[in-house]
Amino acid sequence: MAAKAHLDLVPLPQKAVNLDQLIHERVRLGIVSALAATKKLSFGELKEILNLTDGNLSIHARKLEDAGYVTCRKYFLGRRPQSEYELTATGKKAFEKYVNHMEALIQAMKPKEK
Amino acid sequence: MGLRADMHEHALDNLKYIRSTMENTTAFTAVPGYGMILVGCSALVAAWLGNGAKSREAWLAIWTAEGMAAILLGFIALIWKANHSGVSLLSSPARRFGLGFAPPLLAGAIFTASAARANHYGEVAGLWLLLYGSGVITGGISSVRPVLLMGMAFMALGAVALFTPGEFNDICLAVGFGGLHIVFGIWIARNHGG
């Protein structure tokens, strides 16, 4: 509701600017959405779900990690190094806010019926 | 299309993407690769024992014991993997998997009891493979690609077993319940979190 009220006050381009740009990027939105659906995911699982390359996933996961949206735990499974990602409370809050923002945008920007 | 409609479309598209990603994720983590490898190894032992069985009843007893052991092993591995990846076995994807997987298995058990009663074992191996494969496909319909491919491979092998002479049944069972479980188990374990 707060997001919708806010949308009503600002001009159109400003509404887009106010989006959390960190999550708004498609790959990072995918990472956060996947982690919001389950408690933890390994690097390999995220790669498979989002159909990404190692390099692409690493870069975007690091950005989310730097922002405090996800944590990364490194460990060994046998001799293979593994990375396991989890959404932090901050990340969860940001994701919920983003979804609310999208819902508010849908309502606010609904094409007017003639 | 105006800016207003563009933003509306974009927001809708984003929400759709979020929803589909979350659905893919929750369907993903249920199948235990390491458990499948163990099940495959136990099936190879059963195939070896079954091949040396003195009677069809003894053969059936060996494979029935293997079936029960495989269910137990698979269930333990499922719990282990669910705990490890933080996924609840009561979640809707897990329930969906169980509901899709169980009916063909139950049909196989009923058919086996009927075949044993009639002392007619000719199609048992082929139908086991065929029904197990269909269970894997229906259970894992929204799961990762190797699960669906494994189901298809089981069904294909089941069809082959049904149209080949009975002496090849043990080989088909060894290749299916042994080989396919091990191969796809390694694939899943290496690429899908254990």
- For residue range B140-168, list pLDDT tens digits in order: 876 778 889 999 999 999 999 999 998 88
> Chain-wide mean pLDDT for chain B?
87
> Structural domain boundaries of chain A?
2-10+20-104
* Tokens read off for B18: 């979020």
Please tell me the distance from the alpha carbon of residue B62 to that of residue B46, in angstroms, as a whole number.
6
* Tokens read off for A55: 């390099």
| ipTM associated with this complex | 0.82
Determine, for residues B25 and A34 on separate chains, whether the beta-carbon distance falls below 8 Å: yes
Band of pLDDT at residue B90, cut at 50, 70 and 90: low
Q: Is A100 on the interface with B (CB under 8 A)?
A: no
Tell me the helix, strand and coil percentages in chain B, rounded to 5.
85, 0, 15
Q: Measured between CB atoms, which of A30, A77, A109 is closest to B11?
A: A109
Q: What is the pTM of this model?
A: 0.61
CATH for A2-10+20-104 is 1.10.10.10
Q: Is A49 on the interface with B (CB under 8 A)?
A: yes
Q: What is the mean pLDDT of residues A78-89?
A: 86
Please tell me the distance from the alpha carbon of residue B190 to that of residue B55, in angstroms, as a whole number.
40
SS3 state of residue A72: strand
Neighbours of A52 (CB within 10 A): 18
B192 closest CA partner among B157, B142, B145: B145
H or E element, residue B107: helix B92-118
Q: How many CA atoms lie within 13 A of B125 on its CB side?
A: 28
> Bigger pLDDT: B89 or B15?
B15
Decide: A85 and A56 in contact? Cβ < 8 Å: no
Q: Is B165 on the interface with A (CB under 8 A)?
A: no
Decide: B134 and B165 in contact? Cβ < 8 Å: no
